């Protein structure tokens, strides 16, 4: 354990309300590709071609194939020790909220409960016209699939660039109330997730960041814990609540 990990463990032991804000780095050790690092999805694909309402309007099948490929990937992997550590943290604290930009639902599969999925959920679909959620099992959905209510094309239940995140108000409330914030595996360049972290910090929360490398947030947090979250987070949670 480093001094930084020990210091954070003490803060967590004394904390009442803790928020974790996560990004693709949380799932990297499960084998889910990140977006901007080496091998990242946006290194080989343009977001504008695959992750916007305009892309879906232009070539829905291409967009659908991209998301089915991601669904297959996520269905073939398992939560990693960082996801499990967050579940343990949730069970040990009076109040805990996990705000994630990830759409892979791995935190749910690890047993996490109070999770805000800012960017939606890869395993869900909704109508591209009436926005009605479509009932189906979390599996690969064939293209084209049409809305059970209005007959329009069904789309992935994720938030695309240019769209509003889901559950922003509860995420904001959690940031305004927490006394410890953990920022885990996000490059902190996509809004509004990045500014949510600043809000917690500004209202006086103690903030710790887990990442392989510095981000635009690093200068504004209290502790930076370098390394893969699957290895750096579990010992902190264990030390806080053993
Ligand atoms: P990024 O790919 O932008 O950033 C991943 C971050 O995780 C980087 O800062 C890495 O250094 C870090 N990282 C990688 N492996 C790690 C590990 N094992 N432990 C800790 N940190 C690790 O992913 P996000 O920040 O999640 O949105 O990206 C935000 C949003 O941009 C995504 O939700 C997605 C994307 O475009 C949409 O598709 C709308």
Is pTM beyond 0.75? Reply is yes
CA distance 170 to 19: 12
The one catalytic residue in 83, 119, 136, 149 is 119
pLDDT for residue 124: 93
Helix (H) or strand (E) holding 116: strand 115-117
50 close to ligand 1 (CB < 6 Angstrom): no
CA distance 110 to 131: 29
**R_g of the chain, CA atoms, integer Å:** 18
CA 130–ligand 1 middle distance (angstroms):
31
23 close to ligand 1 (CB < 6 Angstrom): yes
pLDDT tens digits, residue range 32-52? 999 998 889 998 889 999 999
Please indicate whether residue 37 or residue 166 has the higher confidence score (pLDDT): 166
Atom 35 (ligand 1): residue with closest C-alpha? 35
Average pLDDT, the chain: 95
Q: At a CB cut-off of 8 Å and minimum separation 6, what does 14 contact?
A: none
Please indicate whether residue 193 or residue 24 has the higher confidence score (pLDDT): 24
33 close to ligand 1 (CB < 6 Angstrom): no
CA 64–ligand 1 middle distance (angstroms):
22
Is 210 within 8 Å of 185 (Cβ atoms)?
yes
pLDDT tens digits, residue range 74-93? 999 999 999 999 999 999 99
101 close to ligand 1 (CB < 6 Angstrom): yes
CA 117–ligand 1 middle distance (angstroms):
14
pLDDT (average), residues 51-80: 95
pLDDT tens digits, residue range 102-118? 999 999 999 999 999 99
**149 is known as an active-site residue:** no
Is 133 within 8 Å of 147 (Cβ atoms)?
no
pLDDT for residue 37: 85
pLDDT for residue 152: 95
pLDDT for residue 38: 85
pLDDT at residue 194 tops 90: no
pLDDT (average), residues 148-170: 95
96 close to ligand 1 (CB < 6 Angstrom): no
């Amino acid at each position: 354990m480093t001094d930084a990990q020990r210091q954070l463990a003490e803060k967590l032991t004394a904390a009442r309300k803790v928020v974790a804000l996560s990004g693709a780095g949380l799932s990297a050790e499960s084998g889910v590709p990140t977006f901007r690092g080496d091998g990242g999805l946006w290194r080989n694909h343009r977001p504008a071609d695959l992750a916007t309402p305009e892309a879906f309007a232009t070539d829905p099948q291409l967009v659908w194939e991209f998301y089915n490929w991601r669904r297959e990937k996520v269905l073939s992997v398992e939560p990693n020790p960082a996801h499990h550590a967050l579940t343990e943290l949730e069970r040990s604290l009076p109040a805990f909220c996990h705000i994630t930009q990830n759409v892979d639902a791995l935190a749910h599969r690890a047993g996490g409960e109070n999770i805000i999925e800012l960017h939606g959920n890869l395993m869900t679909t909704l109508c591209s016209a009436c926005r009605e959620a479509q009932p189906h099992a979390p599996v690969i959905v064939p293209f084209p699939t049409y809305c059970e209510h209005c007959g329009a094309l069904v789309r992935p239940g994720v938030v695309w660039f240019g769209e509003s995140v889901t559950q922003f108000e509860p995420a904001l409330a959690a940031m305004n109330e927490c006394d410890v914030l953990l920022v885990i595996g996000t490059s902190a360049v996509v809004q509004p997730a990045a500014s949510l972290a600043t809000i917690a910090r500004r209202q006086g929360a103690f903030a710790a960041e887990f990442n392989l490398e510095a981000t635009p947030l690093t200068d504004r947090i209290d502790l930076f814990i370098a390394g893969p979250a699957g290895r750096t987070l579990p010992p902190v949670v264990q030390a806080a609540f053993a």
